[in-house]
Structures are given as structure tokens and as C-alpha cells.
A and B are shown apart, each in its own frame.
Chain A
Amino acid sequence: MSTVTIEAPATFEEAAAALAAATAEGRRVRIVGAGTKLGWGNPGTPADTELHTTGLDRILEHNAGDMTATLEAGVPLELAQRTFAAAGQMLALDPPLGGPGSASGATIGGVVATGDCGPLRHRYGAPRDLVVGVTVALSDGTIARAGGKVIKNVAGYDLPKLFAGSYGTLGVILSLNVRLHPLHECSVTALGAATDGRVLGSAAVALAAAPLEFEALDVAWSGGRGTLLARCAGPEARRRAARAARLMADAGLDETELSDRDGRLWERQRDHQRSEAGALVRVSVAPTELATVLAAVEDCGGRLVGRAALGTSYIEVEPGVVDRLRALLPARAATVILDAPAALRAQVDPWGVDGERRAGELELMRRVKMRFDPSGTCNPGVFVGGI
């Protein structure tokens, strides 16, 4: 049995050299941050080397006046958030940070590489929308930068977006330049409930069209009952949340209320984007298809949290009913299995990509992979289509 070597570079140069050496020696490299999402994607080809980014743990810049920062890939997101919060700022990314075997929680590099996000995506977008620059190491040892440090910049190709969500298959993210936002001191959340998924779905569409600038607009569903949550922040958060609650009542939701100690509510939304023993499926549909998704969840005895205006939901079900869930979802739904027990992972394609419908796109993705990582060194096999 072959042994897996561990590399833990502390500098960009060390990381690039480790990668180049692995390529030269024909070793396959698995890139690891905090290790909270290592189970995502295909199991992939077993690695000969693990390259840990946790030694790249410096916050290189926090330009509070410009509301930007440069973080090495291994910086725990939670730690970065504490630094930004001290200046009244935040990086508007709030995915769940925990995971098996991690004390420090998810790193910024891992969050960006997997494109993971939480409820704040409603207003601020995904990692690809907040990363303005990137430094990467490619498998031949090249250290390349793209983008910049300013929030507005169109010079050169947008490689930060290409690397965001690429699961480490194009190279190793060494550092990221990110855009920050003001951290609001107070927030108030309006809530409304329904036992009919169609009522909840139409209320979600109504709230999504309201000009109230929600920080987040989420749904939650389990056990035949669902909730719509609209979070407002800013000096007039309470008044806006009260208007949101009235809109919810108009849309047929019951038990509308305001919560100004809403931190726990949103922690729960985030926590339910993970599953310890079951299967966790991320589903993307048109927002108006939410009712269909809720019916599927109910049928499968599952639990859902999701972004009402974006059509992205996270569904936890028993591993045995994943196929059934997929069959019940709208035909063009994108379904990606994130957490899953090893037995399920060995049976199904977690990416759920319709290879026929997306043949052209897949071919182009393979060409991108071949150009950036022609030796197939980085995270081989974990990605869509076996990339």
C-alpha cells in the first residue's frame, strides 16, 4: 500500500515548488484546507500527496478604508470575520464553517474553491461575486495572479471566477483579494409560516419582488410545515421588517412575527446546509418552482432550507431516497449531492449532470482543465464529468 505524503507549505513559493515536484514525479495531489468538505465531489483518484494550505494562514492586508482584504488561502473564514468585524465590516459569505475533524473551521480557500455560501448570498452573491483577485499555483509550478485589489477592474480574463467553485482541479488557490461590506449592528427578521407548500412558494415570490432590500430571504421546510424568513438590516430595519411581515400575511402566511434577536434563526438555516448521517442535496431551480421542490421534499420525508429568491435549496434526506428525490424534482433542476455516506457516494454521481444536454459545456470544461492542469496533478477525478 502506498503512503500518502503530506506537504504543508508556508509560502507561495513552497506551495508552487511542491506542486511542480509532484507533477515531475507523476504524483497526484489532493489539496486540503481545513478538511471540512473533503467528502464533496467524486471520490476521485487516490492521492499520492496531500497539499495542506493551512500553513498559508496570514491576513496579508485589510484595507479598511477601501473595504478590501487580501487573505492567504488557509486563513479560517471565522478568524477573518473577527478581524473585519473589529472595523465594522464583513466578508459577506456565511456558509456553515464546521465539519468533521476541524477545530478551526473552514478556510477561505476551501469556501471559495467549493463556491459554498449561506443566506447572505441573497444580497451579496456567491464567492465568485466577492473575490476580486486571486493568486494561484499551477501544476507546473507557475505562480499566477489575476484580477486586482480594487473592486472595479476589467483588465485581463476573470480567472478569479474560473477558480471559484473549481474544487481545486485547476491549481491551488494561494491567496484571495476580496471585497468587504459594512457589518450592520442590528437586524430584524420577519417570519411567516404555512403548511401548504404552494402558499409558501407564492409568498416567497411575492417577497422576492418587494423593494425592501433584504439581507437574506430564506425558506425552511420540514414535517409538513414551512417558514419564510426575511432579514432586514440598517437603521430602519424594524420598520422594513414590519412591512415584510404585512406582505407575508397578505400572501396567506400564518403566525407572522418579527424577531430582533434573530441570530439563532439564521444559524439554524446555515446548520441545515449540512447533514451528518443523511444525504445533503443542493438543488437549483427557478424560484417559482419552489412548491414543486417542497412537494418532493415532503414526499421523501426530507428537510429543506434555501434561498427563496434564488431558487437554490439544500435538502437533507435519508441516503436511500436520493434517487427518488431527484426523480420528483423539476426536470431541469440541477442537483448536486454534497454530504453523503460513503456507500451512497460509491453508487451515484454526486454532480447529477445531464451529460447529453450539457455535452458542449462539459467538453469545454475538459479543455479548460487540460490547459491549466495538463498533467492531471490537481484533485484528479473529483469534479464534474470525472475532471
Chain B
Amino acid sequence: MVMPSSGSPLVADLQEICGREFVLSHQDELATYRSDGLLHYRQVPVAAVLPATADEVQAVVRACFEAGVPWVARGSGTGLSGGALPVSDGVLIVLSRLRRILSVDLENARVVVEPGVTNVAVTRAVSPTHFYPPDPSSQIVCSIGGNIAENSGGAHCFKYGFTTNYVVGLEVVLSDGSVVTMERDPPGYDLLGAFVGSEGTLGVATRIALRVIPAPESVRTLLAFFPDTGAAGDAVTAIVDAGIVPGAIEMMDALAIEAAEQATGAGYRTDAGAALIVELDGPREECLVGLERLMTLCAAAGAMDVRIAQSDSERELIWRTRRAAFASMGRIAPAYYVQDGVIPRTRLAEVLRQIDALAAEYQLRVANVFHAGDGNLHPLVCYDASVEGEPERAEELAGLIIKACVDAGGSITGEHGVGVDKKAYMPSMFGEPDLDAFQRLRCAFDPHGRANPGKVMPTPRLCGEVPGPYRQHPLERAGVAERF
């Protein structure tokens, strides 16, 4: 393979397809695209191309295939695992110009969009009667195409599920430039289910059909403070054991409260060890009854203080403060690693104690923000890059936290994806036969390894020939099918 350069025939082909102004190949033009939301990984691609239509995407992928060049698809670039990190010998396909909402059919609760449409634009398109539940905290800017790649979650997925539960149709360009449509619930393999969450390694979605659901008629938000995370965890367990399924259950520890409160001044109690946000949504009768039960359960678990949002603005302030926890961490630490571990919810207290002990041992501060209903932890490991050795210590600590999650029966990532950032942790969760099974799927879709190479799998793998003893299938003998 010849490494393409800015003057190569491939770049000329891309200019032909998309127009000269939508193919960037100079270093200074490419600076914007060298990272996604995870800024410490940087890589400059040979070119970044901004197609305007699905046909242009297909033509770009085909041109790359014919030139033997790998490519990476990118949405809004908000991902937190380096999933959209370019490859140095490849093309970055930026989908932000594919931002049309193609159809809205509320009677059938279906919306069809292009991949560059933002997450929040889907809910806006179907409001006020309906909504689109997956709501990653970057929802104002993150794209649906990126959500498909990462199987994005958000605060409301304990009750409502993930992106994969809402995608009902896809048009996908495979790495050889062919186009495949995939449907939810087809006769046949659930290719759509396998594609969602595949982090851009199986192809690029160019048209996406989503299911939306009726908007809840009532939303009640409760904010409770506890002396420590253990008591808050007990409250979560009591709520779930009672058969209550809140729309969201979010927890913050003392350090996260401190940072967030500095940002918004919402009146969060900084003398508390933990804050719990519980949001009930649904039919109004159920919310009223549920709220009473929630208050009783929080009090029984030792809540210091329980507040109910009395207005939309109070509710918004509670959530704005929760969302500020990440961004405002800069007020108390110059830099941080954000982790995305998952644990079985019943192991919460135990794992938090382990994290505290590890933080003390490494002499670093760790703030915890998490989706408590589904056990998805976002520990923020704070460090100062100007202190020699501290970034390395922080990275090591972050790794040990993930190990603690896996040891507790959990996962290395709940919603951010593996990307480049967590691929080294994959062997802690999966053995060689498991990784081999993943590779079989990858090879069925992309036998040449052109789509987003170097992501997800811990070590590079080739596809090779189909293994095992060959036996001709009757359909092949009949000439109906071929072997690939």
C-alpha cells in the first residue's frame, strides 16, 4: 500500500466527489480533527472529507477501498474513548453536513434522520407529544451517527434503555463501498443489533430510523442529601427493591458536589457526603404515589435533607448542577481522567471503599458521579499535569479503578465505548476465544480491516480465510449462494 499524501490521486478523487472546499488536507486545516472529546490522543489524518449526502459518503468509502486506504467516520467528535481518533495513513469522514431530518411520522412513532443530526434535534422534532429517550450529557451537540456507533446511554437509560433499543432501521455503507439496509426485527440475523455500538468498525450509517415514545405527562424530581455514599446507595437499593423504576437515579459524592456547587450555586449541601437525584416520570397518578414512597425510603435510609423541585426552573437547576460536575471539576483540579466503569449495583458501597483506598494510596483525589440505577460509575481522577509523574500516577489509578469494577463482576465501559482508550483493558473482561468471536463478526463486515482500524480490539488482528474444514452447502451447489 502506498501512503497517500495531500497531492495523491485519492485526494483528487475525494475533491471530485465532494468539492475542493470540503476536502481538507493541510496540517493547519486538520488541527480541528486530530482528536475527539478525549484530547490527549491526537493523530492527524491524511485528509478530512466532509461529504454532503449519503451518495457522497458511499463514493468516498469506495474511493478509499479502491485506493487501499483506511478511514474513520466522525460525527460531532464528542466521544470520550478516542473512537473517532483519525488514523495517520487514512481519511477522516466527517458527517456533520448530513444533518437533515428526513421524515417525522408521529402516528407510527418513527423519525428518519441523517447521521449528523444532533441527539437533541430528534426530541425537538417530535416534541411536545413524544421524545427520544437516550440522552447522553453531550446531547446538544453529539450526533445520532455517533450515538449509533457508541450505543450511547445517558441519565435516563435505567428506565428507558439505550440507543440500541430505539434504532429501528439503518442504511449502512460497508467498507467495500456497498450499501446495506438493516431493519429491526427482520427475518434473519439482527445485523442492526450487531452494528449499533460497534464503534465505527463495521461501516458507516448514512440513514437512521429511530423509534420515539410518548412524552411522560408528569415529571417529579427529588434531591436528597446523605451523610455518605453508603447511605445514598442504601436508598437506591431500597427504591429499586420497592419495584419503583425512576426515570433517572444519579449520585454525586462530596467532591463532585463541591465542584458542581461552585459552578452553579444551586444550594447543594456541601456538608453532605452524597447527593441523590431521583426523577420519576410517567402517568401523573403513578408519579404522585411514587414520590411519597421515595421520600419515605430516603428518610429511612438516613437522608439529611430531601427536597422536591417545585417548578421547571428548580428542576432544571438540579440537573444543570449535576451536568456541571464534569465541567466544573476544573475549579478544584487542573486536569482529570474520567472513567466509565460499571458494577452490579449491590456492590456499590464495596467498590467505592476500594476507590477511596486506592485514591489515598496514590495521593490523588477522585470525585464520583454516577448513574446509580444501573451501576455506571464515572470516577474523575484529578491530577496536576505540571507535577512530575502525576499524570502517569493518575492513569495508573484510573486503570486500577476499572480493574476493581471488572473484579466486582462489572464492565470496563458503560457508555463511552472502548475506542483506543480502553482497548488495553479488554483482556481483563474477555478471553482470547471471546475476542476471536468478536473478530469473526468484524471480518464478516469488513474483511480488509479498513473501517476505523486500531479501535476496540486490544491487538491488531487480520481476518484471513474462513477457517475450518470446508463443506459445500446445498445452496452453494445449487448456485444460489456463494462463499465469501
Could you list which residues of chain A lie within 8 angstroms of chain B, going by C-beta atoms?
23-24, 26, 45, 63, 65-68, 88, 115, 125-126, 128-129, 136, 138-140, 142-146, 148-159, 161-162, 164-166, 170, 181-184, 205, 208-213, 234-236, 239-240, 243, 284, 286-288, 309, 311-312, 334, 336, 351-353, 358, 360-368, 370-372, 374-376, 380-381, 383-386
Cα A210 to Cα B346 with chains together (Å): 35
Contacts of B183 in A (CB 8 A): 334, 361
Those of B109-127 within 8 Å (CB) of chain A: 109-110
Q: Are A140 and B467 in contact (CB under 8 A)?
A: yes
CB distance from B388 to the nearest CB of A (A): 33
Could you list which residues of chain B lie within 8 angstroms of chain A, going by C-beta atoms?
105-110, 129-130, 150-151, 153, 157-158, 161-162, 164-165, 174, 178-183, 185-191, 193-194, 196-198, 214-217, 237, 240-241, 243, 245, 282-283, 285-286, 289-290, 342-346, 371, 374-376, 409-418, 422, 426, 429-431, 433-438, 440-445, 456, 466-471, 473-475, 480-484
Q: Are B441 and A287 in contact (CB under 8 A)?
A: no
Contacts of B237 in A (CB 8 A): 65
Q: Are A375 and B469 in contact (CB under 8 A)?
A: yes
Cα A24 to Cα B198 with chains together (Å): 32
Beyond A239-B285, A353-B187, 11 additional pairs, beta carbon < 8 A: A155-B430, A156-B456, A157-B197, A158-B151, A158-B194, A162-B193, A208-B109, A208-B214, A236-B289, A366-B482, A371-B440
Which single member of B216, B345, B413, B436 contacts A153 (CB below 8 Å)?
Answer: B413
Which single member of B189, B283, B376, B470 contacts A152 (CB below 8 Å)?
Answer: B376
Q: Are A150 and B440 in contact (CB under 8 A)?
A: no
Please judge, given known A-B contacts A158-B164, A309-B109, whether A375 and B471 are in contact too, CB under 8 Å: yes
Q: Are B441 and A65 in contact (CB under 8 A)?
A: no
Please judge, given known A-B contacts A152-B374, A375-B469, A376-B473, whether A286 and B190 are in contact too, CB under 8 Å: no
Cα A212 to Cα B186 with chains together (Å): 28
> What are 23 A-B pairs with beta-carbon distances under 8 A?
A45-B474, A140-B467, A143-B433, A150-B411, A154-B153, A154-B414, A156-B418, A157-B438, A158-B164, A158-B194, A162-B189, A208-B109, A235-B289, A235-B290, A236-B283, A236-B289, A240-B283, A360-B179, A364-B444, A372-B437, A375-B469, A375-B470, A386-B481
Cα A385 to Cα B481 with chains together (Å): 9
Cα A90 to Cα B415 with chains together (Å): 26
Please judge, given known A-B contacts A65-B346, A383-B188, whether A153 and B414 are in contact too, CB under 8 Å: yes
Q: Which 6 A-B pairs have the closest CB atoms?
A: A161-B193, A182-B243, A144-B437, A236-B285, A65-B346, A153-B411
Q: Are A365 and B191 in contact (CB under 8 A)?
A: yes
CB distance from A125 to the nearest CB of B (A): 6
Cα A209 to Cα B129 with chains together (Å): 8
CB distance from A215 to the nearest CB of B (A): 12
Which of B109, B162, B283, B470: most chain A CB closer than 10 A? B283
Q: Are A149 and B467 in contact (CB under 8 A)?
A: no
| Residue on A nearest B289 in the bound complex, by CB | A235
Q: Are B474 and A386 in contact (CB under 8 A)?
A: yes
| Residue on B nearest A125 in the bound complex, by CB | B165
Please judge, given known A-B contacts A63-B346, A361-B181, A365-B188, whether A152 and B438 are in contact too, CB under 8 Å: no
Which of A66, A138, A143, A364: most chain B CB closer than 10 A? A364
Q: Are B108 and A144 in contact (CB under 8 A)?
A: no
| Residue on A nearest B244 in the bound complex, by CB | A182
Q: Are A370 and B444 in contact (CB under 8 A)?
A: yes
Q: Are B440 and A139 in contact (CB under 8 A)?
A: no
Contacts of A181 in B (CB 8 A): 245
| Residue on A nearest B431 in the bound complex, by CB | A145
Cα A285 to Cα B344 with chains together (Å): 38
Q: Are A234 and B286 in contact (CB under 8 A)?
A: yes
Contacts of A363 in B (CB 8 A): 484
Q: Are B436 and A63 in contact (CB under 8 A)?
A: no
Which single member of B129, B153, B189, B429 contacts A155 (CB below 8 Å)?
Answer: B429
Contacts of A63 in B (CB 8 A): 344, 346
Q: Are B283 and A153 in contact (CB under 8 A)?
A: no
Q: Are A353 and B468 in contact (CB under 8 A)?
A: no
CB distance from B411 to the nearest CB of A (A): 4
Please judge, given known A-B contacts A371-B444, A375-B468, whether A157 and B433 are in contact too, CB under 8 Å: no
Which single member of A182, A360, A368, A376 contacts B441 (CB below 8 Å)?
Answer: A368
Which single member of B193, B375, B433, B437 contacts A164 (CB below 8 Å)?
Answer: B193
Q: Are B346 and A154 in contact (CB under 8 A)?
A: no
| Residue on B nearest A360 in the bound complex, by CB | B180
Contacts of B186 in A (CB 8 A): 334, 358, 361
Cα A65 to Cα B445 with chains together (Å): 38
Q: Are A212 and B283 in contact (CB under 8 A)?
A: yes
Cα A360 to Cα B482 with chains together (Å): 13
Contacts of A211 in B (CB 8 A): 214-217, 282-283
| Residue on A nearest B412 in the bound complex, by CB | A155
CB distance from A377 to the nearest CB of B (A): 9
| Residue on A nearest B290 in the bound complex, by CB | A235
Q: Are B191 and A361 in contact (CB under 8 A)?
A: yes
| Residue on B nearest A287 in the bound complex, by CB | B108
CB distance from B284 to the nearest CB of A (A): 9
Which single member of A23, A287, A383 contacts B107 (CB below 8 Å)?
Answer: A287
Q: Are B180 and A361 in contact (CB under 8 A)?
A: yes
Which single member of A136, A157, A235, A351 contacts B442 (CB below 8 Å)?
Answer: A157
| Residue on B nearest A121 in the bound complex, by CB | B185
Q: Are B437 and A184 in contact (CB under 8 A)?
A: no
Cα A143 to Cα B436 with chains together (Å): 10
Which single member of B417, B426, B433 contacts A144 (CB below 8 Å)?
Answer: B433
Contacts of A351 in B (CB 8 A): 187-188
Q: Are B444 and A159 in contact (CB under 8 A)?
A: no
Contacts of A155 in B (CB 8 A): 411-413, 418, 422, 426, 429-430
| Residue on B nearest A366 in the bound complex, by CB | B481
Q: Are B444 and A368 in contact (CB under 8 A)?
A: yes
Q: Are B444 and A157 in contact (CB under 8 A)?
A: no
Contacts of A209 in B (CB 8 A): 106-107, 109, 129-130, 214
Q: Are B109 and A154 in contact (CB under 8 A)?
A: no
Which of A68, A156, A235, A366: most chain B CB closer than 10 A? A156
Contacts of A205 in B (CB 8 A): 107
Cα A48 to Cα B178 with chains together (Å): 38
Which single member of A140, A150, A367, A385 contacts B374 (CB below 8 Å)?
Answer: A150
Which single member of A165, A208, A234, A367 contacts B190 (CB below 8 Å)?
Answer: A165
Please judge, given known A-B contacts A368-B444, A374-B467, whether A125 and B161 are in contact too, CB under 8 Å: yes
